[in-house]
């Protein structure tokens, strides 16, 4: 299993997790519990947990390239919802 993770600093993390889960719930399996969300993509699962300091994101799947590509998709979507903030910083690390 290939896993990549990042912590994104934002005071609005819970809002973004909820918006993102709602956005993807039309086409993907989504679980949302408060400020924690899980989205099941073909071949990978993204989990996001927000607190007052940011969003902890973890993406896991069998195909390393697909996981890396999905990290870019998740970041791009969060950035769309966070357009009022300065560009968010994603420090992805393989686990």
DSSP 42-85: TTEEEEEEEETTEEEEEEEES-HHHHHHHHHHHHHHHHHHTTTS
Whole-model pTM: value is 0.95
Mind listing the pLDDT tens digit for each residue in 4-48? Answer: 999 999 999 999 999 999 999 999 999 999 999 999 999 999 999
Mean pLDDT of 61-80: 97
| Band (76; pLDDT cuts 50, 70, 90) | very high
Helix, strand, coil content of the chain in percent (nearest 5): 30, 40, 30
Superfamily designation of domain 2-94: Alpha-D-phosphohexomutase, C-terminal domain (3.30.310.50)
């Amino acid at each position: 299993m290939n896993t990549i993770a990042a912590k994104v600093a934002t005071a609005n993390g819970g809002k973004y997790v909820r918006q993102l889960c709602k956005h993807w719930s039309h086409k993907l399996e989504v679980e949302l519990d408060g400020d924690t969300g899980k989205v099941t993509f073909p071949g990978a699962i993204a989990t996001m947990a927000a607190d007052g300091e940011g969003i902890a994101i973890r993406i896991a799947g069998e195909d390393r390239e697909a996981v890396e590509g999905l990290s870019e998709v998740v970041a791009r979507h969060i950035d769309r919802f966070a357009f009022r903030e300065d560009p968010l910083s994603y420090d992805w690390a393989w686990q």
